[in-house]
A and B are shown apart, each in its own frame.
Chain A
């Protein structure tokens, strides 16, 4: 028997953590990434990583409270056991990262420093300067490089995942490898893997310009979905309220600018082309101050997001006719601004090319994180209370210990496995931890947790005594899968010759229009009419995509081909996202329907599960009850009231 191997697709925090854990267990890993893994999207995370710690513990905090916060933060849409396991692991993960050499900020005595983040009353966020994600990724990259140097991990950088290879049907379907393409030589080939872990992140590019990296297309997830993997809570997309809309992407602007006195406005007259400083006070529309006189610019972030969106998208009042409003600090003392907000103002100046001390910043909400993703299952752990518990209060009685195995059965082979046996989903690409919206500084945790904790499950899966090694699978299975992808590739390449020059067939144009409609109708404010319009537009784009024409016929390093192929997969995923949003007739977390503004637990305390219908090319969506049992449902209020009766939605915790 030849040696068993595991394939990991994606080299961000989740993929690297998995790679390290599995290599450490003595199983060789083949790690695939579209970029050198050190350049993965995890580098963009700024804020920090949450975990209970000794200081917070002595003040009455606990892993259990972190668990409770994460559930209420996610508006109770998560299955509860995996979240408990994650928060129990959090302090252990921080210690591990600390041992790996992450330069966590330090207190004057030399202990790890902590900061306050949304969704908690306790300081429980560990951070490393303003680039925590980058620092954590580098630590895992370094450990992974050590395994590469020992020959235990093989990196396939600049290889694009094209499709999972499966054998069997229905419940017997299992993953046996992948087809991938070298983005430089364009070679397409199959790889055998006794298990396949998808760790390919979010799908921000489906929405056009987002805060995501250019590699976050959702293409890999879509390909698994088309191969039969279920995609859950697709409609749960987190939007960050204040991003800098750039010509190429949106970059985060900290909300502290608003907190320090920033005023949000647009010119009262649509099409006013004057420079902002030439527009007199009485010709400015201070959106938040006029709509919410009591709270003004300090309305909770979800309300700010919706109002900014409404003014631009529905009323067409955005600055320069674009989706952007002014966030103005120019009425304040420049020295004071430098002292309080120096770092973030420098970022604005670097990318927007204007000094925000003297020119109002232009900002707009931007898609930031996908809570939904590939559906995964698990085996619950030891904690099985007779009754679900009410809200946990600080210093309250803690019903469960923090040993490994309380939330998830330790090393159970099905932990974080998709509905396809042997196909796992780790990190942002799964749906498991964040429910309907994600708490700030929980994303890094969930990614590393998946790799470190559930990596063991993958090892146990392939080492089960009844496991049939993939080396026994006939080569014809792999050849057939490769041929399908080669044919698809060749067909796309052949469209170069068509060259009608019709703009409707341009892949970049199709992607642009997809981003426009998805951003407008399937993010901040959703309605039945809007989502139906969105689905109709996606239909039109899918029809046009059938006639897509490639702009580059090269047989070497053809990025246009890769992009164009992905656009087709993004359209398929977009349909599932919009349709799940249409069918979820309630508002929960980041999913806000103006026509159904309340959370409806009777009908929708359920995960939406999208299954790809190969006949229609579209999603079939069903709603499946959330697996709870640990914590009782309660309203998501954070002890605040919304400024107006009509705004029954509660403030969201900060995220970054």
Chain B
């Protein structure tokens, strides 16, 4: 990421920026673009006027309607992924000023308060680019399949309520269940490597989100029936042992999910699972 890395700013600074943001200013969007898989990438800059409440999405919308670079060259609208724009779907994740986050909740006043300030947009690092800022995150959904992130119910017929659950336990599961599969945690994880070929997904680190989801379902009374199968995956190649404990995941998670606690909990389960397997041979 290079130069962009230097401009990461903290939440206090962002708040301070808001207070001094100049009304009616224009800011520069420096965007890393690529026309498709295997194509070279390039930077393009756009001078974008701000309005009250401008965010990265509204700025990209403006560029789509006015696809001309800051130097006056006609270009194409920037391609990016988005859906809810309320930070609950996870689609619009990208690297903004060197840090991975959702673009819908990224306010221009916080990042570029003065005339001509620059904001850098790059696609997520750990996924193959489809075009411009849109990347293919199939791998993290596939990881959910690998850890069997579901409750194995008997079927959809009417069989009465699910298991009773304490208030505290529900609160714990709810916190884990807010995961949007946005990919921030894996993008920031030094152990999670970019793998364009799906054949290599199984052998390389599965990443924090899938580990935390495995915990979510191990914690459910019916879901725990698949615990052994989940732990087989997580104690195999690319499993829990590949975590390097950098703790980047928990720092970038937009939902504040206790990912490191999940990793620790699964780590303990992994130990028990391995010992159990040793003695039972199963």
Do A560 and B64 contact each other (CB < 8 Å), given the known contacts A39-B89, A103-B170, A138-B177? yes
B32 contacts chain A at the CB level, 8 A cutoff: no
- How many angstroms from the CA of A626 to the CA of B230 in the assembled complex? 52
Chain B minimum-CB-distance residue to A456: B156
Among B2-10, B160-168, B200-208, B271-279, the one that faces the other chain is B160-168
B67 contacts chain A at the CB level, 8 A cutoff: yes
- How many angstroms from the CA of A111 to the CA of B165 in the assembled complex? 7
- How many angstroms from the CA of A36 to the CA of B92 in the assembled complex? 12
Interface residues of A in 1-46 (CB under 8 A from B): 20-21, 24, 35-36, 38-41, 43-44
Most buried by B among A108, A213, A506: A213
Assess the B149–A110 pair: CB atoms within 8 A: no
Residues in A with CB closer than 8 Å to B177 are 103, 128, 135, 138
- How many angstroms from the CA of A103 to the CA of B219 in the assembled complex? 11
- How many angstroms from the CA of A138 to the CA of B164 in the assembled complex? 20
Assess the A145–B150 pair: CB atoms within 8 A: yes
- How many angstroms from the CA of A251 to the CA of B167 in the assembled complex? 29
Residues in A with CB closer than 8 Å to B52 are 247, 320
Among B102-110, B119-127, B235-243, the one that faces the other chain is B102-110
Interface residues of B in 136-190 (CB under 8 A from A): 136-138, 141, 144-145, 148-153, 155-156, 158-162, 164-167, 169-170, 173-174, 177-178, 180-181
Chain B minimum-CB-distance residue to A138: B177
A101 contacts chain B at the CB level, 8 A cutoff: yes
B1 contacts chain A at the CB level, 8 A cutoff: no
Do A352 and B91 contact each other (CB < 8 Å), given the known contacts A36-B137, A104-B170, A131-B178? no
Assess the B83–A95 pair: CB atoms within 8 A: no
Assess the B178–A248 pair: CB atoms within 8 A: no
Most buried by A among B136, B167, B169: B167
Assess the A103–B174 pair: CB atoms within 8 A: yes
Residues in A with CB closer than 8 Å to B145 are 145, 148-149
B77 contacts chain A at the CB level, 8 A cutoff: yes
Among A78-86, A393-401, A551-559, the one that faces the other chain is A551-559
Assess the B222–A213 pair: CB atoms within 8 A: no
Do A247 and B83 contact each other (CB < 8 Å), given the known contacts A43-B89, A552-B77, A557-B36? no
| 27 sampled A-B residue pairs with Cβ under 8 A | A35-B81, A36-B137, A36-B181, A38-B180, A43-B84, A44-B88, A44-B89, A94-B161, A96-B153, A99-B162, A101-B223, A106-B165, A106-B169, A128-B174, A129-B174, A143-B151, A145-B145, A146-B150, A149-B145, A213-B89, A214-B85, A215-B83, A246-B55, A247-B54, A249-B57, A249-B86, A351-B104
Residues in A with CB closer than 8 Å to B86 are 44, 249, 251, 351
Assess the A556–B150 pair: CB atoms within 8 A: no
B47 contacts chain A at the CB level, 8 A cutoff: no
- Set B57, B79, B87, B105: member contacting A559, Cβ < 8 A: B79
Contact with B along A51-76 (1 / 0, CB 8 A): 00000000000000000000000000
Residues in B with CB closer than 8 Å to A508 are 61, 64-65
Residues in B with CB closer than 8 Å to A101 are 150-151, 162, 173, 217, 220, 222-223
Do A246 and B53 contact each other (CB < 8 Å), given the known contacts A101-B151, A106-B170, A214-B82? yes
Residues in A with CB closer than 8 Å to B88 are 43-44, 131, 134
Residues in B with CB closer than 8 Å to A95 are 158-162
Do A353 and B83 contact each other (CB < 8 Å), given the known contacts A131-B88, A184-B130, A508-B64? no
- How many angstroms from the CA of A189 to the CA of B226 in the assembled complex? 39
Most buried by A among B35, B149, B159, B162: B162
Residues in B with CB closer than 8 Å to A96 are 153, 156, 158
Assess the B217–A249 pair: CB atoms within 8 A: no
Chain B minimum-CB-distance residue to A113: B167
Do A35 and B170 contact each other (CB < 8 Å), given the known contacts A96-B156, A110-B165, A214-B82? no
Give min CB distance, B134 to chain A, whole Å.
7
Assess the A36–B141 pair: CB atoms within 8 A: yes
Chain B minimum-CB-distance residue to A560: B77
B227 contacts chain A at the CB level, 8 A cutoff: no
- Set A149, A213, A552: member contacting B85, Cβ < 8 A: A213
A377 contacts chain B at the CB level, 8 A cutoff: no
Contact with A along B188-232 (1 / 0, CB 8 A): 000000000000000000000000000001001011000000000
Residues in B with CB closer than 8 Å to A99 are 151, 153, 159, 161-162, 222
Give min CB distance, A135 to chain B, whole Å.
6
Residues in A with CB closer than 8 Å to B91 are 35-36, 39
Residues in B with CB closer than 8 Å to A184 are 130-131, 136
A92 contacts chain B at the CB level, 8 A cutoff: yes
Chain A minimum-CB-distance residue to B136: A184
B248 contacts chain A at the CB level, 8 A cutoff: no
Assess the A353–B18 pair: CB atoms within 8 A: yes
- How many angstroms from the CA of A322 to the CA of B107 in the assembled complex? 19
Give min CB distance, A261 to chain B, whole Å.
24
- How many angstroms from the CA of A213 to the CA of B52 in the assembled complex? 21
Task: Bin the interface of chain A by size.
Answer: 35 or more
- How many angstroms from the CA of A506 to the CA of B55 in the assembled complex? 22
Give min CB distance, A226 to chain B, whole Å.
25
Assess the A100–B167 pair: CB atoms within 8 A: no
B69 contacts chain A at the CB level, 8 A cutoff: no
Assess the B162–A560 pair: CB atoms within 8 A: no
- Set A40, A129, A354: member contacting B18, Cβ < 8 A: A354
Do A92 and B53 contact each other (CB < 8 Å), given the known contacts A99-B222, A351-B105? no
- How many angstroms from the CA of A320 to the CA of B51 in the assembled complex? 11
Assess the A350–B151 pair: CB atoms within 8 A: no
Chain A minimum-CB-distance residue to B144: A145
Interface residues of B in 6-22 (CB under 8 A from A): 18
- How many angstroms from the CA of A139 to the CA of B162 in the assembled complex? 13
Give min CB distance, A450 to chain B, whole Å.
13
- How many angstroms from the CA of A44 to the CA of B86 in the assembled complex? 7
Chain B minimum-CB-distance residue to A92: B158
- How many angstroms from the CA of A521 to the CA of B180 in the assembled complex? 37
A107 contacts chain B at the CB level, 8 A cutoff: yes
Residues in A with CB closer than 8 Å to B110 are 353
Assess the A350–B87 pair: CB atoms within 8 A: yes
Assess the B141–A38 pair: CB atoms within 8 A: yes
Contact with B along A396-411 (1 / 0, CB 8 A): 0000000000000000
Give min CB distance, A509 to chain B, whole Å.
7
Residues in B with CB closer than 8 Å to A139 are 151
Residues in B with CB closer than 8 Å to A146 are 148, 150, 152
- How many angstroms from the CA of A233 to the CA of B90 in the assembled complex? 33
Assess the B149–A142 pair: CB atoms within 8 A: yes
- How many angstroms from the CA of A247 to the CA of B103 in the assembled complex? 13
Residues in B with CB closer than 8 Å to A94 are 161
Residues in A with CB closer than 8 Å to B36 are 556-557
Contact with B along A99-137 (1 / 0, CB 8 A): 111011111101110000000000000001101001100
Assess the B167–A106 pair: CB atoms within 8 A: yes
Assess the B130–A557 pair: CB atoms within 8 A: yes
Residues in B with CB closer than 8 Å to A554 are 35, 76, 131
Residues in A with CB closer than 8 Å to B170 are 103-106
Residues in B with CB closer than 8 Å to A44 are 84, 86, 88-89
